[in-house]
Amino acid sequence: MNGIVYLTGAGPGDYRLLTLRGREVLERADVVIYDYLADPRLLEFAPPTAEKIYVGKKAADHTLSQDKIIDLLIAKAKEGKIVVRLKGGDPFVFGRGGEESRALHDAGLPFEIIPGVTSAIGAPAYAGIPVTDRTAASSFAVVTGHEDPTKGQSSIHWDKLATAVDTLVFLMGVHNLPSITQQLVAHGRPATTPAALVRWGTKADQETLVATVGDIAEKAAACHFKAPAVFIVGDVVALRPSMQWFDTKPLFGLTIAVTRTHAQAPDLTHRLEELGARCLEVPTIRITPPTDGYQALDTAIADLEHYDWVIFTSTNGVDAFFRRLQHHGRDSRALGRAKLAAIGSATAKALTAYGLQADVVPGAYCAEDLAAALEPHLSGKERILIPRAKEARSVLPDTLRRWGAVVDVCQAYCTVEASENGAVLKDLLARQTIDVVTVTSSSAVRSFLSLSQAQASDLDDITFACIGPITARTCQEAGLKKIVTAQTYTIAGLAECITDWRIKQS
Residues that bind ligand SAH (CB under 6 A): 12-13, 37, 87-90, 93-95, 118-120, 123, 171-172, 198-203, 227-230
CB of 248 to ligand SAH, least distance (A): 18
CB nearer ligand SAH, residue 12 or residue 290: 12
Distance between CA atoms of residues 339 and 412, nearest Å = 19
Q: Are 111 and 105 in contact (CB under 8 A)?
A: yes
The H or E element containing residue 54 is strand 51-54
CB nearer ligand SAH, residue 202 or residue 415: 202
- Residue 424's CB: how many other CB atoms inside 10 A? 15
Residues with Cβ < 8 Å from 484, sequence gap 6 or more?
A: 463, 464, 465, 466, 497, 498, 501
Three-state secondary structure readout of 69-134? HHHHHHHHHHCCCEEEEEECECCCCCCCHHHHHHHHHHCCCCEEEECCCCHHHHHHHHCCCCCCEC
CB of 230 to ligand SAH, least distance (A): 4
DSSP bridge pairs for 216:
none
CB of 462 to ligand SAH, least distance (A): 27
Q: Calculate the CA dihedral of residues 263, 265, 270, 271 and round it to 10 degrees.
A: 130
CB of 506 to ligand SAH, least distance (A): 25
CB of 169 to ligand SAH, least distance (A): 9
Q: Are 313 and 369 in contact (CB under 8 A)?
A: no
CB of 203 to ligand SAH, least distance (A): 6
- Helices 345-352 and 315-327: angle between axes, nearest 10 degrees: 30
CB nearer ligand SAH, residue 93 or residue 104: 93
CB of 399 to ligand SAH, least distance (A): 54
Distance of CA 19 to CAs 22, 28, 47, Å? 5, 15, 18
- Report the candidate in 343, 321, 350, 347 with the shortest Cα–Cα distance to residue 334: 321
Residues with Cβ < 8 Å from 178, sequence gap 6 or more?
A: 217, 221
Residues with Cβ < 8 Å from 18, sequence gap 6 or more?
A: 9, 10, 11, 26, 42, 45, 116
Peptide bond into 130 cis (omega under 30): no
Question: What is the per-residue burial (b if ≥16 Cβ within 10 Å, else e) of 112-127?
Answer: ebbbbbbbbbbbbbbb
Q: Are 166 and 238 in contact (CB under 8 A)?
A: no
CB nearer ligand SAH, residue 123 or residue 494: 123
Q: Are 208 and 244 in contact (CB under 8 A)?
A: no
Q: Calculate the CA dihedral of residues 273, 494, 320, 444 and round it to 10 degrees.
A: 90
CB nearer ligand SAH, residue 91 or residue 344: 91
- Helices 367-374 and 395-402: angle between axes, nearest 10 degrees: 20
Give residue number: closest CB to ligand SAH: 89
CB nearer ligand SAH, residue 123 or residue 429: 123
CB of 326 to ligand SAH, least distance (A): 45
CB nearer ligand SAH, residue 87 or residue 388: 87
> What are the two backbone dihedrals, phi and then psi, of residue 342, each rounded to the nearest 5 degrees?
-130, 140
CB of 177 to ligand SAH, least distance (A): 11
Instruction: Give the N- to C-terminal CA distance of the chain in Å, as an integer.
Output: 61
CB of 172 to ligand SAH, least distance (A): 4
At 132, the amino acid letter reads T
- Report the candidate in 430, 417, 393, 259 with the shortest Cα–Cα distance to residue 313: 393
Task: Cite the active site residues.
Answer: 35, 57, 172
Determine the distance from the C-alpha atom of residue 129 to the mean position of all C-alpha atoms in its chain, rounded to a whole number: 25
